Amino acid sequence: MKIQHKFITAFCILLIMTGTSNLFAQTDRASTQATTTPDIATFLQVGYAKPCGYSWDGTGVYFGTSMSGAPQAYRLNEHGWPYQLTTFEDGIDTHSGAPYFELSWGGDMAIVGASIGGSELSQLFLMDTQTGSLRQLTFKPNARYRTVLWAKDDRSIIYNSSEENGRDFHIYRMDIESGEAIKIFGDSITMPGAKYPTRFSQDGRKLIVDLTHSNADIDLFLLDLLSGEWQKLTEDTINVIYDSPTLMPDNEMIYLICDNNDDGILRLATMMVGSPAVQFIDDGWLDPRWEVKRLTFSRDYKYMCALVNEDGYMRLKIRETESKKELPSPPLEGQIGGGFIDQTGRCLISFENPTRPSDVWRWDPLNETLEQLTFSTYASIDPKTLIEPELVHFTSFDDLEIPAYLYLPAEYVPGTPVPFIVYAHGGPTGQSVPRWIGTFQYLIQNGYGILAVNPRGSTGYGRAFTALDDYHNRKNSLKDYKASVDWLIAEGYTAKGMIGIRGGSYGGYVVLGMITEYPDLFAAAMNSVGIANFETFLQNTQAYRRKNREAEYGPLSDPEFLREISPIHKADQIRTPLFVIHGENDSRVPVGEARQVIKAVLNNGGVVDSLIFPDEGHGARKLSNKITMYRKMVEFFDTHLKKPVENPAIIEN
């Protein structure tokens, strides 16, 4: 196996220059920082690159990075130089973690999505992939446009949009030349919810559509694009996920991943058009213990790729479709994403782990050649100082085993308590995985430990585990975080008075829930874009999100329960110093959630600090705002967690 390091000097120079110019534009570094440890702003300027498109002939490589200050789309030219294609003030939007970018079949055009001020109400733009010239295609600023597919003749696009009523996503077709669009699938009365175009048949005449009822319940439909007729492909009596469907060239067999099995784990399967029965494939290619995150095929159906979640580590598995011969996987340990395949079988992927940021790589399984295509800057940080986590487990109140990733400072002495931050991921159907998080590495180098918990409700561990916090079981996930703190103290990693908690989005709710349910547990808490009041959240979030969120948290028709789990109604219990961050344009968790909790804490004489960004949405995207936010975070945690501890006693249950 050969690894080609085709070092792109110009790329490194570009990213380093971009990073340092932004750094010098900020205020002077805090005088309290040790001279050997870079400022938090330096860690925030460590680069990244994620693939977003790959031409069939393998010559066109497209990726996204925010090293210009906001996420933009780039392509590598024939000399390996990154040519910037987009220059939106707020950057392009992201979809499932990747840049919003859909390459045409011919490779000379792409669709990009962008919104204003972080609102996520993405509009569609037609882009020339050589020059970056743009033509706006949609003009409904209160609608969101999400998934786009190019018709195989590149004359039209298929996409979904909330434009009809702001609540339901239907499927539309737009003629590129004229800009005229018509709805081709979906009805708000008989078929409410979010419909997504997933993949065309080989002949381009049929389209598989995904109807998402909730994060745990997805159905599939087959739409005939010529006649407009459709048929439902799936049928079940429980919540089932049918994902990554591909209709094979015979227009009869469908490959997909599905969790309708005894373990509730997403596994490789097939089904036939006209029959809802799912046949799981257990031929030794994929280990049945692990969840299949995504399944893709090459354009000619010759190769199939599976991204597999092996206890938080994402692996790429490849094989020939017809012969079922397994091909070598890239020798990379961490998080692999992407999986674009060219006509020779080469795969364009992203790769990152806790000690290296994401870059774009190309893996040739036939020749076992691994080629790194982008080289993100470390922003002067020595990679040898970066820390890998340890996968640990602890038991919760009901003896359920909870996984977590434990990060310890390099100089940690066993049995000596250090300040610790418990990290709560978003979702709630998300998962903390070992990946590059610059703020983690900064805190670790400054003497903090971090525990990234995957409580009940997290994905990656099967359907039953994910459902354990639904509706009336919401607070059981908070008990998992309580157990994590007890475990940290019992193991001697930290002590009472030295422990903080940090989380964003649903993780922000966890933060508020923990400091109201367990007022004496933490010495500091940071809530970013979190939910304080489930009633007002469900009333004010974008209409297209409401049904999905009600399936998790409980419906608006049950206001008594929503009030019972809402931290805002226990704000008088908040004794923990609190730091609140939000974006004025947040369409997921509206900024009113932050304002409610800030007002309540102040009225009760509590300690609260805040940052409300007028030009951000659901989290800070702009580098200048991120630097402001995380510098304040560091000051906040240092103030409250690095005080002398007189009595490091174990917290009583």
pLDDT tens-place string over residues 392-406: 999 999 999 999 999
Residue 454 has pLDDT above 80, yes or no: yes
Confidence label for 3 from pLDDT (cuts 50, 70 and 90): low
* 75: in domain: no
- Please name every residue paired with 3 in a beta bridge, in sequence order, or none if there are none: 370
Give domain status of residue 584, yes or no: yes
Q: Are residues 611 and 529 in the same domain?
A: yes
Answer yes or no: is pLDDT of 36 > 80: no
Q: Is residue 347 part of a domain?
A: yes
Residue 77 belongs to a domain: no
Quick one: tokens of 41? 């702003």
220-241 tens-digit pLDDT: 999 999 999 999 999 998 899 9
Do 420 and 521 sit in the same domain of this protein?
A: yes
Q: Residue 102 pLDDT more than 70?
A: yes
Q: Which region among 6-20, 133-147, 591-605 has the lowest average model confidence (pLDDT)?
A: 6-20
pLDDT at 4: 53
For 241, counting Cβ atoms within 10 Å of its Cβ (0-12 exposed, 13-18 middle, 19+ buried), the class is buried
- Minimum mean pLDDT range among 87-101, 430-444, 475-489: 87-101
- Please tell me the predicted confidence (pLDDT) of residue 308: 97
Together in a domain, 472 and 339: no
| Residue 516 sits in the same domain as residue 405 | yes
Whether residue 221 lies inside any domain: the answer is: no
The whole-chain average pLDDT of the chain stands at 91
Same domain, 408 and 514: yes
Provide mean pLDDT across the span 14-18.
Answer: 41
Q: Domain check: are 448 and 596 in the same one?
A: yes
Residues 367 and 426 in one domain: no
Tell me the C-alpha distance between 596 and 609, whole Å. 13
Cα separation, 551 vs 474, in Å, equals 12
At 96 the pLDDT is 62
Identify the domain boundary among 376, 404, 428: 376
> Which tens digit of pLDDT belongs to each residue from 607-632?
999 999 999 999 888 889 999 999 99
Q: What is the DSSP string of 597-624?
A: HHHHHHHTT--EEEEEETT-BSB--SHH
Q: How many domains does the chain have?
A: 2
- Of 206, 284, 271, 201, nearest to 236 by C-alpha is 271
- Residue 40 within any structural domain of the chain: no
pLDDT for position 645:
53
Residue at a domain's end among 318, 351, 376:
376
Q: Could you tell me which residues are beta bridge partners of residue 452?
A: 405, 423
How would residue 10 be classed by pLDDT, with cut points 50, 70 and 90? very low
Mean pLDDT on 204-216: 93
Asked if residue 432 and residue 312 are part of one domain, the reply reads no
CATH number of the domain at 516, please. Answer: 3.40.50.1820
pLDDT category of residue 32 using cuts at 50, 70 and 90:
very low
Instruction: Mark whether 492 and 413 lie in a shared domain.
Output: yes
Predicted TM-score (pTM) of this structure: 0.89
Alpha-helical segments (H) within 359-518 = 438-445, 463-466, 474-490, 506-517
**pLDDT of res. 621:** 85
How many angstroms separate the CA atoms of 551 and 541, rounded? 14
For 40-48, what is the mean pLDDT? 92
Quick check: 172 pLDDT over 50? yes
Domain that holds residue 460: 392-641
Domain boundary residue, one of 345, 376, 407: 376
Residue 480 domain-assigned? yes
Q: How far is it, in rounded angstroms, from Cα 589 to Cα 594?
A: 9
- Residue 114 forms part of a structural domain: no
330 against 96, higher pLDDT: 330
